[in-house]
Homo-oligomer: A and B are copies of this chain.
Amino acid sequence: MNQTTPIRPDYEGELRKAGVRITRPRKVILSILADAGDHPDALEIFKRAVEIDSGISLSTVYRTMKLLEGVGAIHRHAFEGGPSRFEPAGVEHHDHLIDLDTGDVIEFHSERIEELQQEIARELGYDIVHHRLELYGRRRRGKVSRGG
């Protein structure tokens, strides 16, 4: 039972614990986040939210994202070119490979790279607070394809 269980994040709980109110719009946004298997941006979240409750405003989406980010419940990623995209913070740390053609985000992790980063920072006299490693690429043509 030591596998990376993709825990359905309990955002409401996290927020309550942080002393914020669970309002109608927040409930909607939270449910969207919990369901999202991708890395939606604020506008995308807003669109999905409107389908559930047409009264929600984009401002509230932004405000809620900032709130969740502050609480540490989600991570914000500012990939090249586009708006910030979000993902639940519940999973193990990972970096991203962005498909330049589709915008798809693939997660990966390399303990070796993490170590090397630490090593480099130490040599330069720094402590890493956080880092950003993003690979921008295209699906290799030919050979095996992983379907899509």
> Residues of A at under 8 Å CB distance from B?
78, 80, 97, 99-100, 106, 108, 110, 112-113, 116-117, 120-122, 124-140, 144-146
By beta carbon, the residue of chain B nearest A119 is: B110
- State the copy count for this chain: 2
Residues of chain B with a CB closer than 8 A to A110's CB: 116, 120
* Chain B CB within 10 A, most for which of A99, A129, A133: A133
Residues of chain B with a CB closer than 8 A to A116's CB: 110, 112-113, 116
Q: List 14 A-B contacts (CB under 8 A).
A: A80-B132, A97-B120, A97-B121, A100-B129, A106-B126, A112-B112, A120-B135, A121-B137, A125-B140, A125-B145, A126-B137, A126-B140, A130-B136, A132-B134
